[in-house]
Amino acid sequence: MALRFVYSKQDFVTDVCRDNTTTSSLTNFDTVVQAGWTDRMDSGLFRYHLGDLQTRILPGTQGYVAQLNIARGTERRKPQEILSIQQGFNPKQFNFNKINPDEVIMEMVKGAEGRDEASQPCRMVVLINVSPLEFGHCLFVPDPSLCFPQVLTKFAIQAGVESVFLSSDPGFRVGFNSLGALASVNHLHLHGYYLNQQLSIESMAVKPLVPDKSFHRLLDCPGGYLFYATSECVEEIARAICQCTDFLVESNIAHNVFMTRGCPPCAGMQKGGDGRCRRGVRIAVFPRLSSFGCKEESAFNVALCELAGHLPFKNKRDFELSTEKDVKGIIQKCLLPDTEANTLEQQLTERLMGV
C-alpha cells in the first residue's frame, strides 16, 4: 500500500529565497519525494541511471540552462499517437493504471479542513517518471482510476501549485504538456522535478493584462503568459488558470504550463523589491503550435521545461555547440504566428475579464 501523505495550508512554505549561500531544511514533502525517488532508483525501477548531468549556462540574456541527457532521448517509452488536443482516454493504450505498483511514491490528500468538498477527485498519486529529466522527476496523477484524458482540471492545477508551496527548495518545479504539446501519455498527469539552477522566468518582467486575475504577459519570453499565486489565493488563481486552459482546449490550441517559485510580478521594478524573494509561485502558460506525430528536433524537444529555459539536450554535439540564437530559433518554430498570438491574447483577456 502506498504511503498516504496528508497536508494542509499550514504546511505551505512561504519564506523561500533564491540564495545559494543558504540551504533550507527539507520539508516532509521534500523528504518523502526525494527518499522515495532515490530508493526506486537504487532498486532499478528506472529505464536508466540518471547520475549527475553535465550542465552549462548558455551565454546570453536568457541564461538558458543546458543539460546533456542522452539516455532520455534513446530509452524513454515511445510516445502514444496523438491526433487531437481533445482526444479521449483510451484504456487499451498505456496509462498509469498499468504501471508497476512499486513505482508509486505516495498518495497526496489534502486535509478536509482545507479542501473544497465540492472538488473531485481529492487524491493525487505521485509516482516516479521512469525516464527522468532530473533528480526527483515524478508524475502527479489525479486519481488514476477516474481515467481523465490529458486536459487540465482545476484540481490538477491547484494540487500542482500546492506541491510547489509544500517544498522548501526553490528549484522544485511542476509542469504540464497538453496533447499536441509533446504529452506522450493521454492520461491526466503533471511533471515535478528538482533543478538546482536559476531560471530567468523566476524574475522576468511582465505586462499586466487582467490584474484582478493576476494575468500578465511575459515580456522577454515570446508567446508566454504568467499567473502569480500567493499561499492565500491558490484556489482563486487555479480557477483563473483553468479558465485560460479550458479556452485553449476549446480552441484546439496546444499549450505547456510551468510552475516555479518566483518573484512577484514586476518586483524588480518596485523600489526596495527583493529580487531573491521566492515566496509565491509563478505559473507560466505557453500557447503554441500543435505538434502531432514524431516531428522532433534533433537538439531538444520543445515542451514545458524548454519553454521555461531548461534544455535537456539529446546529443553531445548540440549540447556543446548550441548558442542562445540557435535555441531561440528552435523555440520560435513552435510558437503561434504573431497575428494569431495577438488575437488569442485579446480573447484570453476578455475571457478572464468576463466580457
Counting the structural domains of the chain, the total is 1
| Residue 165 belongs to a domain | yes
Give residue 90's pLDDT. Answer: 95
| Residue 12 belongs to a domain | no
CB 85 within 8 A of CB 253: yes
| Residue 14 belongs to a domain | no
pTM of the entire structure? Answer: 0.94
Neighbours of 87 (CB within 10 A): 18
Give residue 308's pLDDT. Answer: 97
Average pLDDT estimate for 303-317 = 96
Domain extent at residue 239: 28-353
| Residue 197 belongs to a domain | yes
Q: Could you tell me which of 146, 152, 150, 174 has the C-alpha nearest to residue 79? A: 150
190-225: pLDDT as tens digits: 999 999 999 999 999 999 999 999 999 999 998 999
| Residue 159 belongs to a domain | yes
Q: How confident is the model at residue 318 (pLDDT cuts 50, 70, 90)?
A: very high
CB 287 within 8 A of CB 255: yes
| Residue 9 belongs to a domain | no
349: cell is 483577456
| Residue 321 belongs to a domain | yes
| Residue 238 belongs to a domain | yes
Q: How confident is the model at residue 116 (pLDDT cuts 50, 70, 90)?
A: low
Q: At what angle do helices 338-353 and 234-250 cross, to 10 degrees?
A: 130
| Residue 47 confidence (pLDDT) above 50 | yes
136-167: pLDDT as tens digits: 999 999 999 999 999 999 999 999 999 999 99
CATH number at residue 292: 3.30.428.70
Task: Determine the residue type at 226.
Answer: L
Give residue 49's pLDDT. Answer: 93
CB 280 within 8 A of CB 264: yes
Q: Which positions are catalytic? A: 189
